[in-house]
Structure 1
């Protein structure tokens, strides 16, 4: 095989290894972030009706507005609801500014996921064209794509159980360059709707599913590599 072809093949394997777990994680994140039933169930568990002073119908309406905003289907978060018997604007200026940052983070992450799909498609075409044994190369890439993320997800799940608030704070300090995320649970509706308990539950679900699916993919790839049903080099 020519040197340049070998280089392209190596890069293709690397792209598959890197972007496969990222796409999986973003897809699971998207499922829970935009799942209205999940939000409503956590509102019941966390007694959000009492903490916000809002009825469930208003909570559902406001949540849908939030989700549409994060999907870039809404230009702003201007919305009114009955809060403790008074019709008023739900979100204050600080909450709206923070959600601008959150929205941009989501849009960048999902744009990167789209790029990941494209790069994986290109990588698969390159592997099939250049490899002497494309299936083995693909299975190896899938196997390797699970190892580091599996370890990372497992460690993260353990750390979240030990001190979620500490690592939740680190996350915000890494991804946000301001302190707008520090909201007052006594006054601001956004943090009353999604308190720390909400983030503990959604993070645990996301990384548990990620860990489980990665285990299945890695186990399936390993089984195929060991089966002898694919051509050897």
Structure 2
């Protein structure tokens, strides 16, 4: 059993956080862009009656919001929503753009980590300089990253339980944390956005994001376990 040094621990903790960010931002992008789910929600909950629009009109409004979040093109929403709603959507667009940038950066770092380690091992194997220590280090890295990911998942599950216990409270805290103004405080009497996007929809969306997030992490954990196993087998050859 190799002794894990401090530097390796720090690297693996950092990488596990990067993997968490990659899976979380990927899940947010995937679920937030799922127009079909929203349309199913509208039909199932008869949202048209509450918004005083037919389903097709609501679908078109929602499509314009999702397209705006992706492009930032105000012409998509300014004719359908009032000034306060448009200003709030500018903030939302910036938040999703940040999510997209974090997703790209974390994905790049994670795949570079895997690729570089494979290249080093293949190069050393070809040059006949591959040692048991090299394989031990690779196996230890993958095992540590997997273990730290599991620890972080545990912490996030505890947080998720707190959020689920009072979603309304933490939904408000989320907005207070990520927005530096009160534009997100909309009036159902004057702002159609809050009527077509009720809190219940966001609660169900958060559950779907959590499921997608865990699923993506599970795949990466299986990959890491497989890499660690292959390194051990190669070491024992």
Q: Same fold (TM over 0.5)?
A: yes
Match of residue 92 from structure 1? 82
Matched, 1:170 2:160: no
Larger helix share, 1 or 2? 2
56 and 100 in structure 1: CA distance in 2 versus 1, 3 angstrom threshold = same
Match of residue 44 from structure 1? 43
96 and 195 in structure 1: CA distance in 2 versus 1, 3 angstrom threshold = same
3-state secondary structure, aligned to 1:132? helix
1:164-222 Cα deviation digits (max 9, x unpaired): 01111111111000001011122211111111100110001111332344356446755
- How many residues align structurally? 216
The residue correspondences of 1:149-188 to structure 2 (distance < 5 A) are 150-188=153-191
Per-residue deviation, 1:110: 0.6
The residue correspondences of 1:1-233 to structure 2 (distance < 5 A) are 13-72=12-71, 74-78=73-77, 89-128=79-118, 129=120, 132-133=134-135, 134-148=138-152, 150-215=153-218, 217-218=220-221, 221=224, 229=233, 231=235
Q: Which has the higher contact order (CA 8 A, sep 6+)?
A: 2
**What is the Cα-based RMSD across aligned positions, in Å?**
2.8
Length-normalised TM-score, structure 1: 0.79
Inter-partner Cα distance in structure 1 for 2:229 and 2:117: 20
- Checking the alignment, whether the CA contact within 8 Å between 2:81 and 2:193 is kept in structure 1 is yes
Per-residue deviation, 1:158: 1.6
Per-residue deviation, 1:103: 0.3
226 and 116 in structure 1: CA distance in 2 versus 1, 3 angstrom threshold = closer
38 and 174 in structure 1: CA distance in 2 versus 1, 3 angstrom threshold = same
- Checking the alignment, whether the CA contact within 8 Å between 1:65 and 1:74 is kept in structure 2 is no
Unaligned 5+ segments in structure 2 are: 1-5, 122-132
Match of residue 82 from structure 1? none
Length-normalised TM-score, structure 2: 0.78
- Checking the alignment, whether the CA contact within 8 Å between 2:68 and 2:76 is kept in structure 1 is yes
